[in-house]
A and B are shown apart, each in its own frame.
Chain A
Amino acid sequence: MIEFDRVSRRHGDQHALRNLNLAVDQGEMTFLTGHSGAGKSTVLKLLLLLDRPTGGEIRVNGDRITHLTGGAVARYRRRFGVVFQDHRLLFDRSVHDNVALPLEIAGFSPRDITRRVRAALDKVGLLASERADPASLSGGEQQRVGIARAVVARPEFLIADEPTGNLDPQLSSEIMSLFEAFNQVGVTVLIATHDMPLICRLRHRIVTLSSGSLVAGDAS
């Protein structure tokens, strides 16, 4: 359960978010949409504590998160799997080692890491590329590696900012099906996107922002 309670984020006199109320239930799959500059990325950054609100409160499973600092922030972020538009893979290591990173951080044994990385890569259909250099993969494949990295540690929440921004419609819909598959096994999914044609075909909740405020889709 993610709750935004009258959250504001101001940059000088410019409002990125204005008194935003938003709740995402456990196990729900939600699309966050709106024009460019509407505040979608700001919502996700605040949720990941990459940015702090100037007003209001954010709660995750009932706990206030805005006061967390230091090591508590790191532990909090481990509950999330994050997918980026530019996938943010590390090109100095293999696909396997990229996906293994969250498990290393969480302190899994090498044996468990190998097993879980294989399972995650299998789910995104890239088990054969385990030893490959990520730079040698196509854009869609790189994004799938990014998704494998996001889900490998079995997070409670899956967060994605424009995960299909650089992909053609065919690949985009493949990626969205992957997110749906993870949602079906109980992961709460929150995706920021402006790919309206794609998300309208999928039957999930759509929340629309405009100039930092909610304009469509219920607050809860």
Chain B
Amino acid sequence: MKISLLRERLLWRWWPVWLLQHQSAAASSWKKLQGRPLSTFMTWLLVALSLALPASLLLTVNNLNSVTSHFERPPQFSLLLTEQMDLDDATHLQQAITNWPEVARVKLIPRDEALSQFIALTGLNPLLESLPRNPLPHTLLVSLHNTAPEKDSTLLAKRLESSNGVDQVVLDTLWMIRLEEGLRAASRWVLAVGAMMLLTTVLALGNILRLTVVARGDEILVVRLIGGSSAFARRPFLYTGLWYGLGGGALGAVMLWLFCGWLAGPVNALFILYESQQRLQWPGIHYPLGLLAVAVVLGWIASWMACQRHFRQLDKQ
């Protein structure tokens, strides 16, 4: 008794009244939620699921993005030379192309080397040995300078194609460009799904909070009758929204963590198979913080809307 009085006095000394009002609103809403543990948990679950889904998609896209950023960026062409070109001709062509200003490097892969690489990679040894002669041509690998813009590289491809002794030009990095385009589309898709999920959450939370507001309609009515401002009447519900947001955001962060733990094994195994140094990127600290912030803001928006709707109805009567 004595201690609590002393505490109260100290609090009063240092804490302004509005802070005490907030404290009491926060505590009373928390107590109300504690009184209904199951429905509180369900609401947290609702918020958590609808935020963890877009967050996990975002994480996936970010992981794929970091994979592609490890590839060599500048375009690379493979020039398949004609049958008639022997090793000397190929070396001459290599030197000629190396002098082109856009070209950084030209590597010659003689047909024998190409064949042994192919055998090592595929293990099709018996089949290939049964062929009368090496079916592979000499190949030049042409790497462009980092700065070469997209248009140049298609022009260059045409020029390379028209060079003497070149049978076929293959843009090696085409699949990568396609993947990047695909990822760009996927990022937008994640954004759209995320926005839809956020909207869904606000609507669902809004309905839940609306029920809370209606259930405590007596309190709102009395508070307004005896001179409480709208802000005062709204405050406990904003705290209910805050608690729903904090709980849901925290639960969502845990779900994201579990999701990563579940994926990490197979994904890392896949990276190892592809001889990549890359490993699954776990969500950084900004993920849980972002989830919490988004969830809290959603909770506030939802409770604000629920209160405004109720107040408007009261005013109409």
Contacts and interface: CB of A to CB of B under 8 A. Distances in A.
Interface string B210-230: 000000101101111111111
A192 interface: no
B83 interface: no
Interface in A94-150: 101-102, 104-111, 149-150
A71 B229 contact: yes
A154 interface: no
Contacts of B113: none
B229 A74 contact: yes
A105 B32 CA distance: 20
B112 interface: no
A109 B228 contact: no
Interface residues of A, number: 28
Contact of A107 (B11, B21, B223): B21
- Among B218, B219, B227, residue most surrounded by chain A Cβ atoms (within 10 Å): B227
B17 A109 contact: yes
Given A80-B227, A104-B21, A105-B227, A111 B222 contact: no
Contacts of A150: 226
B20 interface: yes
Nearest to B8: A110
Contact of A110 (B11, B216, B224, B229): B11
Contacts of B18: 107
A88 interface: yes
Contact of A74 (B21, B218, B222, B230): B230
B222 A88 contact: yes
A78 B227 contact: yes
B41 interface: no
A74 B227 contact: yes
A64 interface: no
B232 interface: yes
A76 to B, nearest CB: 8
Interface in B1-59: 8-9, 11-12, 17-18, 20-21, 24, 32
Contacts, number: 65
Nearest to B216: A92
A105 B223 contact: yes
A204 B225 CA distance: 27
B228 A74 contact: yes
A5 B32 CA distance: 46
Contacts of B221: 88
A101 B222 contact: yes
Given A88-B222, A107-B21, A75 B8 contact: no
Nearest to A104: B21
Contact of B225 (A48, A75, A104): A48
B226 A82 contact: yes
Contacts of A48: 225
Interface string B184-227: 00000000000000000000000000000000101101111111
Contact of B226 (A70, A71, A105): A105
A101 B24 CA distance: 12
B213 to A, nearest CB: 14
Interface string A148-168: 011000000000000000000
A90 interface: yes
A33 B9 CA distance: 48
A109 B20 contact: yes
Nearest to A89: B222
Contacts of B219: 90, 92
B50 to A, nearest CB: 30
Nearest to B314: A50
B5 to A, nearest CB: 8
B8 A111 contact: yes
A90 B218 contact: yes
A208 to B, nearest CB: 26
A105 B228 contact: yes
Interface in B61-95: none
Contacts of A90: 218-219, 222
B225 A101 contact: no
A88 B17 contact: no
B223 A101 contact: yes
B64 to A, nearest CB: 52
Ranked nearest first, the 6 interchain pairs of A and B with the lowest CB-CB distance are A78-B227, A77-B227, A74-B229, A105-B228, A107-B17, A109-B12
5 contacts: A75-B227, A77-B224, A77-B227, A80-B227, A82-B226
Interface of B: 8-9, 11-12, 17-18, 20-21, 24, 32, 216, 218-219, 221-230, 232
